[in-house]
Copies of this chain bind each other. A is one copy, B any other.
Amino acid sequence: MLTRQQVTQTQARAAALLEAAGIMLTPDERVHLEVADFGLGDLDRTGLALVVYVNNDRYCAKELVLFPRQTCPQHRHPPVGDDPGKQETFRCRWGTVWLYVEGEPAQNIRAEPPEGGEAYYTVFHEVELHPGDQYTIPPNTWHWFQAGAGGAVVSEFSSPSRDAYDVWTDPRIRRIPEGTGDEAT
């Protein structure tokens, strides 16, 4: 589990990166900036910070912040009831991000799966996104992504988020939001 200090330091670092990308947050959003290490305790390599702008029963929008070479591990958004699964459009705002999805694998991928977790990365169709580039991930499709050497800011536009239903390749992963500010109140 992340320490309170890790969370606040990471929140400040993420807010600074968003500001560099020209993205303004309210003071309340800064306090509630979410830090995820997916329960792996290796935040520098596996994790991300995010701001959820809106998540209602019709649509969702978030800002994702990845530090240099940080990875969001492989997962998919399965069907839930009438919902065919979350569909996501990633739009790179700042930096470089390599996105991997199902499909023809790249010969030499540019990202590097985090050491020790290699077995849990199985899709290698590579999509490189620079600012202004975007890609839509169909529902229930395995995907993972990693930032380039300078980190990345990615806007996510999607159908509603129901994180609890996400399926992760790595069985060690626990997706419990930390650092949303709620535990401090």
Residues in chain A within 8 A of chain B (CB atoms): 21-26, 29, 53-54, 56, 58-61, 87, 89, 91, 93, 131-134, 136, 155, 157-159
Contact = CB atoms under 8 A, between A and B. Distances in A.
Contact of A157 (B22, B54, B131): B54
Contact of A59 (B21, B25, B58, B93): B58
Given A61-B89, A61-B157, 11 more contacts: A21-B22, A22-B93, A24-B131, A53-B89, A54-B89, A56-B87, A58-B159, A59-B87, A60-B157, A61-B61, A61-B91
Contacts of A133: 26
Nearest to A159: B58
Output the residue of A23, A25, A136 with the most chain B CB within 10 A: A23
A34 B13 CA distance: 36
A93 B93 CA distance: 13
Output the residue of A60, A132, A158 with the most chain B CB within 10 A: A132
A23 B22 contact: yes
A87 B61 contact: no
A93 B24 contact: yes
A133 B58 CA distance: 20
Given A58-B159, A59-B157, A157-B59, A132 B22 contact: no
B54 A132 contact: no
A119 B157 CA distance: 36
A92 to B, nearest CB: 8
A61 B53 CA distance: 13
